[in-house]
Amino acid sequence: MKLLRSLTFLSILCGFAALTFAENWPQWRGPNFNGSSSEKNLPDAWSKTENVLWVTDLPGPSAATPVIWGDQVFVPSGDEQNKTLKAICIDRKSGKVLWQHQPSVGYRRDEKSNYASPSPVTDGKLVVFFYGNGELAAYDLAGKQLWARNIQKDYGDFSFQWTFAASPLLHNGKLYVQVLQRNVPVRGRGRTDGPNESYLLAVDPASGKTLWRHVRPSQAVAESLEAFSTPVPFEFNGRKEILVVGGDDLTGHDPGTGKELWRWGTWNPTRIGHWRLVPSPIAGAGVILVCAPKRDPIYAIKAGGSGLLNDSAIAWKSERNSAISSDVPTPLFYQDDFFIVGDAGGENRSALSRVEPKTGKIKWTIEALPGRGKIESSPTGADGKIYFMRFSGDVIVVDANQGKVLNAISMGEAGDNETRSSIPAAQGQLFIRTNSKLFCIGKQLAGGF
């Protein structure tokens, strides 16, 4: 009996230790804004039934990544049948829907995506959902709406060829939303009663009121003015910044005022007009990566610059048409290196590479990743593993140290396509969002979660 009590106590201590090191995933790129997490004891093998703690049906597809705080999972979704938008809160322990709201009617503008593509953000006090039609809504964690507004109504219709999507940033008491768009209307979209300006918007998360709006100019043309990236906080040598990428340029901004501190560009010197930008900036080890589109190079820009930077600010760049490029996925910074999902020359020929930040040296590359369909999911790094997903819902798990594929797991349904959600790691679990379901994957501790 004494031995049994000791073993039970040891089991409780192990469970407590596991929970002690559990992290939240409060924003699209996680607790460190770079796709990494300190989570441990995560699985590398599962199926639609094995190691599935729960699965919850969702009303429609979304490219958004779920965010997690404690025992709550926040998921935006389009309602495909009713053509509305949903804000959903799910219990992390059971998969039960705790509350849901319909912030807006409307569903999509084109066949490539829908308005539910941006990921929500939370600070553990409130959660903010943002949608591609401009709807911005905040709720407390019990589901009570705190405020709502539509920034298209406030600042003019978005001027995008495709459906606008950019996840917001919640950082140090401010909510940041960026709109990098065309300077003239396109396909009947955009302002006709005033200038179509690109801007970085700061909002008071408690009230929803605008703190400031910084207009961000650009010399890009046509579709190259459009960006689907997310602003990212960064600090270097004591200077705090908000990084913004799009319109052929990378810029750093004062978090308090939006004032531009520095600018580097361009990866598009001839001003090609169809280079819209999707990947967000990613920083690590004193450099900031910016991914030129269409299999063009990745550029590593030295941190700490001021004013208009020339090409002496480039620490290194990759080769054009190499695996070290990214048209859509944002790279990961993990274990002091960058992990880049690139196009190896075809829809099913994506590659994953581990790259040294200061030099651009490639430590390893996997050129023949398994699974079906294009990869637009951004990689997640946790527990020594890299997780990401193909359009088909095929999840790929890679050993981060050895550059070895550990598993490829089909999580989608027949006919699933354009599954883009990244895979958050939080509270000892993985959360996989397919077109119609949310899976919670993990190992159950003795005595429950």
Q: In percent, how much of the chain has pLDDT > 90?
A: 84
Q: How is 20-77 classified by DSSP, letter by letter?
A: HT---B-STTTTTTSSB----S--S---SSTTEEEEEE-SS---PPPEEETTEEEEEE
Does residue 2 belong to any structural domain of this protein?
no
Among candidates 404, 356, 402, 398, which has minimal Cα distance to 377?
A: 398
Residue 222, Ramachandran bin (φ over 0: left; ψ between -120 and 50: alpha; else beta): left
What's the rounded mean pLDDT across residues 44-67? 96
Question: Residue 194: pLDDT band by 50, 70, 90 thresholds?
Answer: confident
Is 348's pLDDT higher than 80?
no
| Residue whose structure tokens are 């300006």 | 197
The domain that contains 235 carries what CATH number? 2.140.10.10
Does residue 10 belong to any structural domain of this protein?
no
**β pairing state of 307-309 and 260-264:** parallel
| pLDDT of amino acid 80 | 87
> Mind listing the pLDDT tens digit for each residue in 170-190?
999 999 999 999 999 999 999
Is 301's pLDDT higher than 80?
yes
Is 1's pLDDT higher than 60?
no
pTM for the whole thing?
A: 0.93
Q: How is 322-354 classified by DSSP, letter by letter?
A: SSS--SSSPPEEETTEEEEEEE-SSTT-EEEEE
> Mind listing the pLDDT tens digit for each residue in 251-277?
999 999 999 999 999 999 999 999 999
| CA 283 to each of CA 243, 280, 358: distance values in angstroms, whole numbers, following the listed order | 9, 10, 11
Over its C-alpha atoms, the chain yields an Rg (Å, rounded) of 21
Does residue 14 belong to any structural domain of this protein?
no
From CA 146, how far away is CA 148, in angstroms rounded?
7
Domain that holds residue 75: 21-442
Does residue 190 belong to any structural domain of this protein?
yes
| pLDDT of amino acid 13 | 40
Does residue 1 belong to any structural domain of this protein?
no
| pLDDT of amino acid 184 | 96
Where is pLDDT greater, at 406 or 321?
406
From CA 158, how far away is CA 152, in angstroms rounded?
6
| pLDDT of amino acid 108 | 77
From CA 292, how far away is CA 246, in angstroms rounded?
10
Question: Residue 153: pLDDT band by 50, 70, 90 thresholds?
Answer: very high
| pLDDT of amino acid 414 | 83
Q: Are 288 and 301 in contact (CB under 8 A)?
A: yes
> Mind listing the pLDDT tens digit for each residue in 128-150?
999 999 999 999 999 999 999 99
Does residue 39 belong to any structural domain of this protein?
yes
From CA 54, how far away is CA 37, in angstroms rounded?
22
Among candidates 145, 172, 48, 174, which has minimal Cα distance to 434?
A: 48
Is 48's pLDDT higher than 80?
yes
Does residue 12 belong to any structural domain of this protein?
no
Residue 4, Ramachandran bin (φ over 0: left; ψ between -120 and 50: alpha; else beta): alpha
| pLDDT of amino acid 21 | 60
Cβ-in-10-Å burial (0-12, 13-18, 19+) of 147 comes to middle
Question: Residue 444: pLDDT band by 50, 70, 90 thresholds?
Answer: low
> Mind listing the pLDDT tens digit for each residue in 392-441?
999 999 999 999 999 999 999 888 888 999 999 999 999 999 999 999 99
SS3 366: strand
> Mind listing the pLDDT tens digit for each residue in 76-96?
999 989 999 999 999 999 999
Does residue 447 belong to any structural domain of this protein?
no
Among candidates 377, 357, 387, 229, which has minimal Cα distance to 283?
A: 357
Give the chain's domain count: 1
Q: Considering the chain, what is the average pLDDT of its residues?
A: 92
What's the rounded mean pLDDT across residues 192-207? 95
> Mind listing the pLDDT tens digit for each residue in 104-124?
998 777 777 889 999 999 999
